[in-house]
Structures are given as structure tokens and as C-alpha cells.
Structure 1
Amino acid sequence: MSAFLDACRQVVGAQYLLTDADALAPYLVERRGNLSGKACAVARPGSSAEVAQLVRLCHQYRVPVVPQGGNTGLVLGSIPDDSGTALLLSLRRLNRIRDIDTVNDTITVDAGCILEHVQQAAADADRLFPLSLAAEGSCTIGGNLSSNAGGTAVLRYGNARELCLGLEVVTPQGELWDGLRGLRKDNTGYDLRDLYIGAEGTLGIITGAVLKLHPRPRAVRTALLALPTPDHALQLLTLTRRHCGAALTGFELMSAFCMELVHRHFPDMQSPFAMPHAQYALLELYDHESEQHATALLETLIGTALDEQTVADAVVATSLAQSAALWQWRECIPLAQAAEGRNIKHDISLPISRIADFIRVTDEALQQAFPGVRLVTFGHLGDGNLHYNVAPPADAGADFFMHQAAINRIVHDNVHAFDGSISAEHGIGALKREELLRYKSPLELQLMSRIKQALDPLNLMNPGKLL
């Protein structure tokens, strides 16, 4: 191992190869502080070439390598196991904006670029990079692509996969594949780009990407609407699509308990409604015509929804500050959950048409099995992604979490029964690996294993994750 570490120092320099326990610690603990791993060292390369050299050394010395971006993941995808044999490869120094092409509407970036910095670089060029999620101030593009991140604008712009045109990747053998092509049409064989996106670093290490840019909207309109049931939320989504078309950018669902939690832990936030309602939909329009056109679209939509009794009440933001205040209700839900205490999280996706039925059936099943559980249901209704989280009864003790496996089984079995997925945007990592074996077909698992074996026969790339 000492010969391997000496060789790594020659590549990155002694200051960028960390072996001291205190220096390693921040890289080895997952975001919520619940679990940690061990590593022989943390390497912090400063270029794609250095990444390739390090991976070649890992291949030569048979050392597992765990790539890490901002370490904001929620499924233990960027944390090594506790063997201490792996090299953790941090990509945070790969943080250059390489190029912006406003005619081709692309931006080429290093994988270690913080998502928020890419958004700002696009805005500085009068363009929009629409990927947006809670961790955007610390997550990296490489991590976003490795997990095929979603967020609040998937309804209109798609997941990270849809926002990427080309990649630069280091293979498990340490070769550097330059696929940084800003082409929207390239029908020349297998799509290697899509193979690496969503692979969670198990097939190679993404070091750079060409990303799509979009025109900045001329107007943004935000509204919070109160609804009686999730069925009404689906009716509203259908109505909004009919009235607003492509202008509909975000459509978020929040239950009454979500709003209650936020107010409890952020008492300065007062509900914009005079009385509580069972469900709330936060919707946002991006309009490319004018402020007046955006306002007219939203006013017509809300008027129709009220007339048809699809919604019970509505609040419309009339300024950027008011829009931010409405979004704060959605963004504070995870913070309020953390302040309330531990809960059992599920990142699931379902056919949009079946979401209301899933909520109804699964709520009932959980209440029968564990009376008094509190269900924190929110998420990106417009693309079928729910964060269906289970909080213990108010008077429950710590032993409630002994039932986590049983609760997961109820939720995930129902997800499967409703033709959904147990992971919508967080990935599989190590946390859901065993669950994947239960719900993927044997053939799917075989095909995935064959790809892994073909590209990484030594199983050195992020071992123990996904497969």
C-alpha cells in the first residue's frame, strides 16, 4: 500500500493526497452524519489527466476507487465501505467552466463544478441551466450526472440525462474517453454517454460534461393552491397542462402535515391561507412572451380551477420576493423533518395517473400496521416523483425504528404493485442495493451485471454500490 500511495503523491502532489485521520474524516461521513466509511487515502486531483493517472494506479495495484463530488447523496453512493482499502477520489478541484457557446446553447464544465456555479455562469451569458435541487449550493455536476438527478424543473426540462449532450469519462483501466460533443443528433453506434449517466460511478468516472442551455424566461409566475385531495391535484395538473402548455415548469405537491411541520419549526412562516387544507400544489410558469402573457395564463387557469371546484383557494405571487416566500414552504420541508426528528424516507416514482390511488392505499396500510404514524408526503407531482416519508407517532420511542424494514416493505411493495420505481432521483448506492434485487427482474439484473463485468472486470469502480 505504501508504494501505491507514494505513486499517487507523485501524480497529485503531497498536499493533495490526504492520509491523516482528521483530514480524511469530512470525506468519509455521509451527508446526514448517520454512517461513515474508511479509506486508505483521499486523492484530490486537479485535472482529468490526473484522474486518469490515479485510476491507472488503482488498476495496477488492484485498489478500489470511490469517486465523490459534493458528498450530498442520500443513498451512501459516494462513501467507501469500512474495509479501509479504497482510494476516495474527490473531484472538487475539477471546477472549471471550460466553455460557453451561446449559439449552440451549450456549456462545457468540469465534473467538480458546483451546480449553483453552473447556473450562475449560464445566467451571466443570458441563458438558463434549469437543473435545480435543494443541494445546488454544494452538489457537483459529476454527482448530478452519476445519479441522474431530477429536481423541481424535470416536468419541463427533464432529468440530468436530458440536459447532457456529451461526457468526458475515465474508464476503469485509466483511459480518458473524450466524448465532449455538443451534438443533439449523433447516431453513430451505442450511446456511451447514457451508459455512464445514472451508473453511480460503477462503470467509470465522469470528469467533464457538455450541458444544454435554454433561453431565460421573460416572466416567471408562481402560485400556491389549496386542494381537497390528491385526486384534485391530478385534475389541476391536467387542467394546467391544457391551459399553459409548455409554460408549466414546476408542479409540487405538499400535504397538510408538511405545512404543519414547516410552521412548527419555522414559526415566522405564516400560512398564506386563512384556514388549513388537506393538500397544496405549488406551480410555476416560465413564459417566453411577456409578463402580461404569463399573468393572463395564470389568471385564466386559476379562475377555471375555482369555477370547476378543482381548487379551494389560491395565492399568487406578485413579486420575486413573494415567489421565493412560496417556494420556501416547499424547500423547508426537509429541514422541518430533520428538526422534528428521525423519519423513514422513500424517494419513489409512479405513473402520474396512479399517484392518488397509491397515496390512499399506502396511507391506509401503514396506519393499520403502525397506528398513529405521520406521513410526510411531498414531491414533484408533475413528473411522478414523491418523497413519501414516514414519521413515528408523536408519542413513539426510539424503538419505532426497529420497524423500518417492515415499513419499507409496505411502501416498496405498493410502489411495485402500482408499476413504480423505488428510486426516482436519489439512486441506489449501497442503501437500496438489496431492495433492488427484490424488484428488478432477474434478466434486468443479469444484463446490468454483464455490462459491469465487461467494463470493470476487476470490480474496482465504486464496489458495493448499485450491484
Structure 2
Amino acid sequence: MTFHGISPDIRAALERVLGQSGVAADPTSMAKYLADWSGDHHGSALAVLKPASVAEVQAAVRLCGTLGLAMIPQGGNTGLVAGAIDIGTTPGAVVISLERLNRIRSVDADNFTLQADAGCILQHIKDAADDQDCLFPLALGAQGSCQIGGNAASNAGGVNVLRYGMARDLIVGLEVVLPDGDLWSGFSGLRKDNRGYDLKQLFIGAEGTLGIITGVEVKLSPKPGQIETAYLGLPSFESAIALFRQARRDCSDLISAFEIIGSECMELARLADPTIVAPVDAPVHVLIELSSGAAVELRSLLVDFLAGVMERHLVADAVLAESGAQAKAFWAIREGLVEGQARRGYHVRTDLSVRISDIPTLIAQARGFVALEHPGWISQAYGHAGDGNIHFNVLPPLDLAEADARARGVAITARLYDIVTALGGSVSAEHGIGRTRQRVYWTGMSPVHCRLVSTLKNAIDPAGLMNPGCLFPVTETCS
């Protein structure tokens, strides 16, 4: 990582606004803000600013605008696409961390809403909802460290999208500091508000390129009275999609998660926890979860459903969780395989989205390409199949030098993007665009799409100081 020196005059000006504790400009105190958890991305900054209030965020933005300093908003820094880290595009930038804005502002159990500062940890929001016998269903592997403002800015997904939707679907209102330092508040607590443009949607998924989210108002749901979990073994991904179609009909909206895991991923899960044992022995694993209020005979519903699909030979084996601990052990496989990949080292990581019916085709074409053109590399297919999101990752041979693996990885990633694009899919299902996918995002736009997003950016951030290099290549213009 690189540390660009900040002039004493600029540092003094920043400290007058934020105090000495609100400005970090030495390598040791800045280090954790300039590298992501995966170890894939390392960045640079003039300084890290840590405002402790919304008013301080406004003051910092106004001062940075006056000084011409680019601003990179940062939440929990758990992203995977360098959306909150400069990786060489904006050497004159400061990082603005929201970590000190971390209060739960209010919980309204009667109206099923919660307001929080943008820097509030997702798990703390889930716990606050749980304390009021409510559920905030956004569920991510990084929920113990990611922040709700970052979840909103990246339109985070996770395992419960199938039932509850993306972050966009869970947000009632936002509070945003605009590039000129003005504060826009879209808080109302209303589920239905049809007064013209829904301005909050401009900032959800914008990755900090239009302003800095300082507060989030989210929807809560009733806490489920019961949860049933099953781990299934299937002969193929085609069978898994057929199973999902039947599950949607038989179990309706009681399905809260439907995850598929290629059996090849089990080795990675054991890197995270050597004691993990697969409940089934089959080419494809499915983890299905149902949840409901206490009045529904949920276990009987799941048992009857499984009996039916096993009679049709869609499912070869099934294990129904007999306790919360056993259900947790099932989920540990899904969570562990991600950790195991990180422990193994560099790998090609994708976040692809296709129509649900195209999932088997996507996986077959991607596996075929890797096997034919990159022998020795290991394909890994898993994801939130119920919403069309597949993480198709590729592991390099262990004896291949990392520099060589990364060089090959660029070509592999590009080809995987070609495959998903040909299927009418997306190169980003839930991780966002950031800096690592901006070129494929930008070049894949239609001229009209390009004009619209450029018009929005130029109108709201005419100086181009909000997270430059993220989403938009710095030197790109519409043709």
C-alpha cells in the first residue's frame, strides 16, 4: 500500500473540523482502511477522516470540496470489488470512514421500522430488532463487521434475498450528505409514499459516488416463530433447479433460503473447519430453509415436500435438522467454504446472476471452459440459486506462482463474464461494481444507459469528487 504525504496546512485544516482523533495520516493508523479483508486489494490515501457526527461529515465534505480533495466513503471495508479503496486511480483522495457514526437511533416495533447511523454494524441492527421480537432479514457472511450504510450503498444481498429482497427492498428511508455538504433526509417511516421521484433509490447501490449515506431507516419483519432446515443431496444442477421450482409451488413464500453447493466445495469448507462432515454424498448439495409464524405446521410441510420430491427422484438423500445446533452445522458448510477459499489464497472470484432456469447452463459452460483451457485449475460453483446468483470461482494450482496465477486470472474472469453476458445475465449479482468491475460495467452499457447515469453523476457531483474511479472510469466519457 502507498501513503501519500499530506501537507501540514491541509492536515491542520482537517483537524480543526474533526479534531485530532478524527484525522489519521500516518501509515500505522491508516493501514486497516487501505486493505480489504480478502487481501486482494491494497490502496492509498492522503488521510483517513473519521467524523463522529453527521454535522462533522457535512463539515468534512465542505472542506474537502473547497480543497479539491476526492472523497472515498468507507463502511466496514468488507467489500470485494475495491469500492471503498483507491487502487491507483485517485492518488489525491481521502477516505471518510463512518465507523464512529454507530448508534441505533430508534426501534419502532409497532410500525416495524428501525433507524440507525450509517456506521452501525449489521449484526447490531439484527440484535436490536431481535430484542423487540422483530427480524431484520439482511444476512451476510460479513454481518459481524459490515455496516448498514455500506450495505445500502452497495445494495447488499445475502442468503435471504429470495424471500425478503435485496437491501434496496428493505430500506424505508435514507439520510445523505450531498457533495456540496448539504444534508438530505428521506426519513418518513412510511411504507407507501408516492410523491414523485423516490430519491433514496438514487443512492442505494451508487457506492458512494453521489453522496455519503449517514443514516438508514429499514423495514423490520415479525420474528419467525419456527424455522426448519434441511440439507439435501441431488444428482445434478438441473435437478436442483427442478427442485426449486417445485419448492416454490409447494412451500410458497415460506422459503427463506435456497442455497446450492457443488460437492467440490466441501474440501474448502474443511480448510476452515476440519471437523466438517457433509450430511449427504452427492454431486450437488442443497440447503433449504423455511420459516413461519407458530400457527403453520412447518415441519409437516417440509417433510411432505421432501417425501414428494424423493419419490420423483429429484433428491437422492435428505437430512432434516433435528435441532438448532444441527441447522447451524449445516450453515457452517456454506459459510466455511467461503472462508476456506480465502485461506487457500488467491483465486478467481465472481458474483454472477442469470435467470434461474439458466443456472445449469451457466455452470456447465463455465466448468467446460476451465477444464478445456485451464487444466489444473479447480472450478467451484455455489450460491443463492433461488435468486439466480451463482458464485463461480476458480482456484489455481497450488504450485503456480501467485503473480502468474493473477495474470491468468484476469483472462479467466473475462471469459466467465463473456459466458454470463451471452446468457443475458449480470457480472454483478450482489457485490457491486467498485473499481475492479468498472470497465466491464461501462463498456457493456448502451449509449442511452451511459447518458442517463452520466447525467445523474454530473448533476449531483459536478466536481467529480465523490469516490472517483468507482463505477465510473476516471477518464471515461460517453460516446
TM-score where L is the length of structure 1: 0.96
Deviation of 1:272 (Å): 1.8
Contact 2:359 2:388 in 1 (8 A): yes
Contact 1:167 1:193 in 2 (8 A): yes
1:106 aligned partner: 113
Contact 2:272 2:336 in 1 (8 A): no
Q: Does 1:401 align with 2:398?
A: no
1:4 aligned partner: 10
Structure 1 counterpart of 2:373, from 364, 369, 373: 369
Contact 1:70 1:139 in 2 (8 A): yes
Q: Does 1:445 align with 2:456?
A: no
2:21 aligned partner: 15
Bigger mean CA offset, 373-382 vs 146-155: 373-382
2:42 aligned partner: 36
Q: Does 1:198 align with 2:205?
A: yes
Q: Does 1:157 align with 2:157?
A: no
Deviation of 1:40 (Å): 1.7
One-letter amino acid matched to 1:52 = Q
Q: Does 1:62 align with 2:77?
A: no
One-letter amino acid matched to 1:318 = E
Q: 1-side partners of 2:42 and 2:248: how far apart?
A: 44
1:457 aligned partner: 462
Bigger mean CA offset, 236-245 vs 128-137: 236-245
Match of 1:388, SS state, is strand
Structure 1 counterpart of 2:303, from 299, 303, 306: 299
1:330 aligned partner: 334
1:228 aligned partner: 235
Match of 2:306, SS state, is helix
Deviation of 1:85 (Å): 1.7
Q: Superposition pairs for residues 1-400 of structure 1, below 5 Å?
A: 1-82=7-88, 84-263=91-270, 266-273=273-280, 276-290=281-295, 293-393=297-397, 396-398=400-402, 399-400=404-405
Contact 1:366 1:410 in 2 (8 A): no
2:436 aligned partner: 431
Q: 2-side partners of 1:269 and 1:40: how far apart?
A: 44
Match of 2:123, SS state, is helix
Contact 1:251 1:281 in 2 (8 A): yes
Contact 1:55 1:172 in 2 (8 A): yes
Contiguous gaps of at least 5 residues in structure 2: 1-6, 473-479
Q: 1-side partners of 2:30 and 2:396: how far apart?
A: 34
* Shift in alpha-carbon separation, 1:12–1:364, aligned structure 2, 3 A: same
One-letter amino acid matched to 2:94 = L
Identity of aligned residues (%): 44
Match of 2:40, SS state, is coil
One-letter amino acid matched to 2:380 = V
Q: 1-side partners of 2:18 and 2:306: how far apart?
A: 58
Bigger mean CA offset, 110-119 vs 364-373: 364-373
Deviation of 1:11 (Å): 2.0
One-letter amino acid matched to 1:157 = Y
Bigger mean CA offset, 450-459 vs 83-92: 83-92
* Shift in alpha-carbon separation, 1:258–1:115, aligned structure 2, 3 A: same
Contact 1:4 1:57 in 2 (8 A): no
Match of 2:45, SS state, is coil
2:417 aligned partner: 412
Contact 1:229 1:278 in 2 (8 A): yes
Contact 2:38 2:342 in 1 (8 A): no
Deviation of 1:80 (Å): 2.5
Bigger mean CA offset, 367-376 vs 250-259: 367-376
Deviation of 1:268 (Å): 1.1
Deviation of 1:289 (Å): 3.2
Contiguous gaps of at least 5 residues in structure 1: none
Contact 2:271 2:343 in 1 (8 A): no
Deviation of 1:200 (Å): 0.2
Deviation of 1:413 (Å): 0.7
Deviation of 1:393 (Å): 4.0
One-letter amino acid matched to 2:214 = T
Contact 1:167 1:181 in 2 (8 A): no
Deviation of 1:28 (Å): 1.1
Contact 1:166 1:179 in 2 (8 A): yes
TM-score where L is the length of structure 2: 0.94
Q: 2-side partners of 1:107 and 1:91: how far apart?
A: 18
* Shift in alpha-carbon separation, 1:404–1:432, aligned structure 2, 3 A: same
Deviations 1:116-152 (A, max 9, x none): 0000000001100000000000000010000000000
Deviation of 1:183 (Å): 1.1
One-letter amino acid matched to 1:410 = R
Deviations 1:37-56 (A, max 9, x none): 22221111111111011101
Deviations 1:258-316 (A, max 9, x none): 1133235532112223xx311001010011134x7111111011101100101000011
One-letter amino acid matched to 1:30 = D
